[in-house]
């Protein structure tokens, strides 16, 4: 009997229950889908690292040899140590791409994953090439590639295609924003295949550390490794650029997967509470009859709770079944642009299944709260109609301002204050809609503002020429003021128990790069000291006036320098020196880059020139990244519109049902239909305006949350244009007024005889 009654009640209030179903569905759909996405990334990358024995630590230095390797292997806690030479060569292919060679005579640590061709042989010949690079450059197994490094040129045949665990984020350096396999790739090469006489000048030792080693043992090992002659820097796996970037991506996706469903579950709880409260009140006499007939309160309670149970369970199960395959596939198509994994597969965990239970608990809990009060009454009391609330004059009604308001305004204010829960829920739905619209468009605006800030305001040059030591600046023609030399290096800073590597740029005379502080004021390079980027200063916990010590790559001496200023830049985080400040430390500037104010016709084959980048090339990567974010923005837009439609339609239906008697009275008293629609629209506008105003700061908060946690290598300003805010607010009003227009049609269909019949 109770089952049939539940079905009849659901059909009678199908609009409200369908909206609750959608909210429960969306909450689980988004949570389980996004969790399956980032957990899939977590599982697949861990499996990838394990299968390929990704190094636990990386030793960087100069002139490592077999004796150095033997010394490292003898240290307690070292399972394996492998010599490696990392070399950036230029491939004789279209666009003159950079091919990074990983040269070694062993294959124990950080092994390549072969996807085609012969298995990697560290004693063989040829090279094993990055699969994406080979695809973009139309290369096949058996083809030969001509490579050059300085004065050295050689040809190597392709023996196989590979993925490598150190290139999940496959970029050359921090100047390349997203991977571009047509311009940069990598290859594993046996030491015997490289035509360099004598023992190779290895610059890396990659280590496999005993998994059972304690934190203290690892600290002792690290201290011993840093004392080995020729060692410049010891980098643990977690600090490797590719590893740390992918970990940051997983952490960011994990945060978003948690934030999204909270909003939908919260609104679902409010919707269920409002719907069940109305249902229970309308069936108050029926509940009293059940109790009078001998049905226990527990059985009646379970009956009404079952509404939330079945709605939440059905929505949750459908969300769990559809979320992981749909959302994971959607987001993975975006992730593949930035990251390179051999397998992209989602993983559904127990916690994802528990999200269904969360949806059920939310709906059941709301149902329980809605009917618990009525079931506490005695059957005789429940059989009587509920006494209407005693009307009270609010404080606003006692003011002179109240008497100046129109009837429509007075009616709406009283209705809002009388139905506080319903009104609060409408505001919450509008807040969520506005917030997600601003969240989506704010991310895009912040990216566009970063592009403008970096390429238009900070970078005043048109061309960037990378050179080698043999290059002479006499090759450039034109005024010296149109050329600025830059020395780009890596420096090591020790902070606490760990050391960190940062980029350093030393600028010669010129003004082709501007620097601004966090307030937008221009900073001139000081003749003494250093200026730091904001993200670097935060990583080192430094402020203006502090002193730090650093060591340059290839040098054994430590240098102390004072922080003179902190600047903000979207990219190229690190240290900035003027030439005079650098030389006052007893160091010599050796230009590695020349900035040109106007593009010049420079051939890469020119002696000493390794690469030429123009402004269009540098903006290309950024444009590709923005295109990738468009998908996320559209997902947020769709979720915002859907949330607004579902919540506002549900509330509008409830509100209309509760006010049918009042609306019928107004029509009988002679109010024309357009005036009644205007009255209803006024309340919609008031609640929408309130929700939109509250949603704007919430949207800004979430935009800032994303821009501040993207990566330590980028520093996007949080920016949402006034036009974007206006469009988001207008979009929210459009959704709200659309729902109002749909519901207001019901006013003309009110059966006034039934609506005005006295309650019996």
The values of phi and psi at residue 600, to 5°, are -120, 155
User: Could you give the CA distance from residue 33 to residue 121 in angstroms, rounded to a whole number?
Assistant: 41
Q: Is the pLDDT of residue 577 over 90?
A: yes
Tell me what the mean pLDDT of segment 97-119 comes to. Answer: 93
Q: Which string of b and e fits 114-147 if b means at least 16 CB within 10 Å?
A: beebeebebeeebbbbbbbbbebbebebeeebeb
In the chain, % of residues over pLDDT 90: 23
Tell me what the mean pLDDT of segment 335-362 comes to. Answer: 87
Tell me what the mean pLDDT of segment 268-280 comes to. Answer: 68
Q: Is the pLDDT of residue 81 over 80?
A: yes
- Residue 621: name the closest of 179, 311, 102 by CA: 179
- What pLDDT is stored for residue 752 in this prediction? 66
Answer whether 655's CB lies under 8 Å from 681's CB.
no
- What pLDDT is stored for residue 519 in this prediction? 86
Q: Is the pLDDT of residue 754 over 90?
A: no
Q: What is the pLDDT of residues 162-181, one digit of tens each?
A: 999 999 988 877 666 678 88
Angle between helix axes 673-708 and 241-282 (nearest 10 degrees) is 150
Domains identified in the chain and CATH numbers: 1-54+237-387 (no CATH), 78-209 (no CATH), 419-458+620-760 (no CATH), 478-599 (2.40.70)
- What pLDDT is stored for residue 618 in this prediction? 67
48-62, 208-222, 371-385, 388-402: which is most confident: 48-62
- What pLDDT is stored for residue 256 in this prediction? 75
- How does residue 500 score in pLDDT terms, banded at 50, 70 and 90? confident
Q: Is the pLDDT of residue 758 over 60?
A: no
Q: What is the pLDDT of residues 600-654, one digit of tens each?
A: 666 655 567 777 777 776 676 666 666 666 666 777 677 777 777 777 777 677 6
Q: How far apart are the first and last CA of the chain?
A: 25
Q: Is the pLDDT of residue 150 over 80?
A: no
- What pLDDT is stored for residue 281 in this prediction? 66
Cβ neighbourhood burial of 650 (10 Å; 0-12, 13-18, 19+): buried
Quickly tell me which residue has 């010394």 as its tokens.
71
- How does residue 331 score in pLDDT terms, banded at 50, 70 and 90? confident
Q: Is the pLDDT of residue 592 over 50?
A: yes
Answer whether 576's CB lies under 8 Å from 567's CB.
yes
- What pLDDT is stored for residue 364 in this prediction? 81
Answer whether 55's CB lies under 8 Å from 112's CB.
no
Tell me what the mean pLDDT of segment 328-355 comes to. Answer: 87
- What pLDDT is stored for residue 392 in this prediction? 65
- What pLDDT is stored for residue 760 in this prediction? 47
- ∠ CA 358-360-362, nearest 5°, is 70
Q: What is the pLDDT of residues 405-414, one digit of tens each?
A: 777 777 777 7
Q: What is the pLDDT of residues 296-313, one digit of tens each?
A: 777 877 877 787 788 888
Q: pTM for the whole thing? A: 0.79
- What pLDDT is stored for residue 501 in this prediction? 81
User: Could you give the CA distance from residue 639 to residue 330 in angstroms, rounded to a whole number?
Assistant: 14
Q: What is the pLDDT of residues 395-444, one digit of tens each?
A: 777 777 777 777 777 777 777 777 777 787 778 878 888 888 888 888 88
């Amino acid at each position: 009997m109770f089952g049939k009654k539940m079905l009849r009640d659901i059909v009678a209030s199908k609009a409200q229950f369908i909206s609750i179903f959608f909210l429960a569905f969306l909450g689980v759909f988004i949570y389980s889908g996004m969790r399956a996405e980032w957990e899939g990334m977590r599982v697949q990358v861990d499996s990838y690292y394990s299968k390929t024995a990704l190094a636990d630590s990386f030793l960087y230095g100069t002139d490592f040899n077999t004796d150095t390797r033997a010394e490292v292997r003898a240290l307690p806690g070292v399972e394996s140590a492998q010599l490696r030479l990392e070399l950036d060569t230029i491939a004789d292919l279209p666009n003159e791409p950079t091919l990074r060679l990983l040269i070694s005579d062993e294959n124990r640590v950080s092994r390549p994953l072969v996807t085609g061709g012969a298995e990697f042989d560290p004693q063989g010949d040829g090279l094993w090439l990055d699969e994406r690079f080979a695809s973009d450059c139309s290369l096949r197994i058996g083809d030969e590639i001509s490579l050059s490094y300085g004065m050295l040129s050689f040809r190597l045949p392709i023996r196989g295609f590979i993925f490598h665990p150190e290139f999940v984020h496959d970029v050359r350096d921090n100047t390349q924003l997203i991977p571009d396999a047509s311009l940069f790739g990598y290859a594993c090469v046996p030491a015997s295949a490289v035509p360099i006489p004598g023992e190779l000048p290895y610059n890396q030792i990659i280590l496999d550390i005993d998994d059972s080693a304690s934190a203290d043992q690892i600290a002792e090992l690290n201290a011993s490794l840093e004392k080995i002659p020729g060692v410049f820097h010891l980098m643990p796996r977690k600090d490797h650029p590719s590893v740390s970037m992918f970990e940051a991506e997983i952490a960011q996706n994990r945060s978003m997967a948690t934030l999204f469903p909270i909003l939908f579950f919260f609104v679902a709880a409010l919707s269920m509470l409002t719907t069940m409260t109305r249902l229970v009140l309308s069936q108050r006499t029926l509940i009293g009859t059940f109790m009078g007939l001998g049905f226990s309160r527990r059985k009646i309670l379970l009956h009404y709770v079952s509404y939330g149970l079945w709605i939440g369970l059905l929505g949750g199960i459908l969300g769990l079944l559809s979320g992981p395959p749909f959302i994971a596939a959607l987001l993975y198509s975006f992730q593949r642009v930035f990251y390179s994994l051999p397998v992209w597969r989602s993983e559904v965990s127990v916690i994802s299944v528990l999200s269904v239970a969360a949806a059920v608990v939310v709906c059941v809990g709301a149902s329980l709260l809605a009917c618990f009060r009525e079931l506490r009454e005695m059957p005789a009391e429940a059989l009587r109609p509920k006494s209407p609330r005693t009307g009270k004059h609010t404080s606003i009604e006692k003011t002179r301002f109240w008497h100046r308001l129109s009837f429509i305004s007075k009616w709406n204010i009283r209705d809002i204050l009388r139905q506080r829960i319903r009104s609060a829920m409408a505001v919450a739905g509008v807040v969520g809609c506005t917030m997600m619209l601003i969240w989506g468009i704010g991310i895009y605006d912040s990216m566009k503002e970063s592009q403008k800030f970096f390429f238009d305001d900070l970078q005043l040059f048109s061309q960037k020429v990378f050179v080698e030591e043999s290059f002479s600046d006499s090759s450039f023609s034109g005024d010296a003021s149109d050329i600025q030399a830059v020395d780009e290096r890596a420096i090591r800073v020790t902070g606490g128990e760990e050391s960190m590597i940062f980029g350093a740029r030393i600028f010669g005379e010129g003004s082709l790069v501007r620097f601004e502080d966090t307030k937008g004021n221009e900073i001139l390079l000081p003749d003494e000291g250093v200026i730091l980027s904001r993200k670097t200063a935060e990583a080192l916990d430094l402020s203006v006036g502090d002193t730090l010590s650093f060591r340059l790559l290839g040098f054994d001496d430590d240098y102390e320098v004072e922080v003179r200023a902190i600047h903000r830049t979207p990219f190229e985080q690190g240290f900035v020196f003027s030439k005079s400040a650098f030389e006052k430390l007893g160091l010599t500037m050796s230009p590695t880059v020349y900035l040109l104010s106007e593009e010049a016709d420079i051939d890469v084959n020119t002696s000493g020139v390794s690469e030429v980048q123009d402004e269009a090339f540098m903006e290309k990567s950024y444009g590709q990244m923005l295109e990738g974010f468009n998908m996320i923005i559209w997902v947020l837009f769709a979720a915002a519109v859907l949330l607004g439609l579902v919540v506002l339609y549900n509330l509008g239906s409830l509100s209309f049902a509760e006010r049918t008697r009042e609306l019928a009275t107004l029509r009988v008293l002679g109010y024309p239909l357009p005036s009644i629609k205007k009255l209803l629209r006024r309340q919609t506008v008031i609640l929408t305006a309130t929700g939109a105003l509250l949603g704007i700061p919430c949207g800004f908060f979430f935009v800032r949350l994303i821009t501040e946690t993207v990566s330590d290598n980028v520093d996007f300003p949080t920016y949402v244009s006034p036009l974007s805010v206006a469009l988001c607010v207008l979009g929210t009003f459009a959704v709200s007024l659309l729902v109002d227009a749909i519901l207001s049609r019901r006013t003309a269909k009110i059966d006034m005889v039934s609506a005005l019949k006295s309650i019996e």
